[in-house]
Amino acid sequence: MSTDCCHPVKRRKTFFALLFPILAALMLGSCGDPEKEARLQWREEEVNAKEQDLIRREQKMKEERAAVDILQSQLNQEKAGIDAIRAQVKTELEKTARARRALEIKQLRGPVPTITAERVIVINVDSNDVLWEKNADKKGPIASTQKLLTALVIAEAGDLESKVTVELSDTQCAPVRIGLKPGEQYTRKQLLTALMVKSSNDIAQTLARDNAGTVEAFMKKMNTRALALGLQNSFFVNPHGLPDKVEQFSTARDLSVIALAADKRPEIREMVCLKSFKFEKADGKPEVLDNTNRVLKSNPYCDGMKTGFTSAAGYCLVASGQKNGKRRMVIVLNGTSNGVWKDADALLVWAMKA
């Protein structure tokens, strides 16, 4: 339904459009009659007065509406100011709460243990926050801990129950080797579990070649995955971490990103927590593989992940653990033969306090 008739201007125009013809007719009919002319004059003046009154009312309404608009604008500005102050107060309260919590956590944990390793980082897995670090961005070799990236690429490819046939080239690498022989067949899951527990280099080569066709092709996949994880300070040239013709390197921080990604894979979590693994050889004879991670045995809430050693990388360890709903990750690189275990264990204990 149209609302034009409700508008003051249109209503006035309609009123006068109807009134003027009536007045004109009356004027024509009253010629020569002074009394009628007087009445018409009075009516005309009354109409004019009403018109002026309508005009004044409309003007007053416009002025009142303008005043209301100004007040509304002022209210909006005041509200925006109040909202800004409220946001600032909220931000300050959050900063204060974080600072208070950080102080409480620092008091609960106490001082950081004395650490002998050269490159270290401690991560809160639940929040990805760095709890402590030492030379975390210094580049260098990371030895067999890079097998976590090898495992991540293999696990993400899936189909772990399929069998792999060992080829001669798979066996041609430096120790540590489990002693695979050409023609033997194992499931990918068998091999990957043995790799995570015992760190056998011939297994790393077998899985890499099986996954990509050649070890060289696998290295392209491995470095592509590293870039996808956002790693800018890592480069790998083999799947096992042994020294090669071309230098390979990473950092404690980059390795923590790899470890966190691997930690999200249930199949890898199930493997790295094993203190030992019964590896059934192709001839049917079982071989018990003890996990190279000593902290699994010394720390009751340690549940992984990977060891490593080369002369250049020193003794390395990625140690994960969980206690009372808190999950932590410790990366230790360029440690000593005894210090690597002490460092990782002490940092896990420290990090679990809060």
Count the neighbouring beta carbons within 10 Å of the beta carbon of residue 88: 10
Q: What is each CA distance from 145 to 209, 318, 319, in whole angstroms?
A: 19, 7, 10
- 307: which strand partners? 317
147 a catalytic residue:
yes
147, 198, 306, 342: which one is catalytic?
147
- Sequence-distant (6+) residues with CB within 8 A of 105 are 354
Distance CA 91, CA 310 (A): 48
199, 250, 256, 320: which one is catalytic?
199
Distance CA 320, CA 232 (A): 23
What does the block give as tokens for 102?
């950080």
- Is residue 110 a contact partner of residue 121, using CB atoms and an 8 Å limit? no
144 a catalytic residue:
yes
Count the neighbouring beta carbons within 10 Å of the beta carbon of residue 99: 10
88 three-class SS: helix
Count the neighbouring beta carbons within 10 Å of the beta carbon of residue 281: 14
What does the block give as tokens for 64?
């009142």
Give the CA radius of gyration of the chain. 41
Distance CA 320, CA 306 (A): 9
Distance CA 205, CA 214 (A): 9
- DSSP state at residue 174: P
Q: How many residues make up the chain in this entry?
A: 354
Separation of first and last alpha carbons in the chain: 69
Catalytic residues: 144, 147, 199
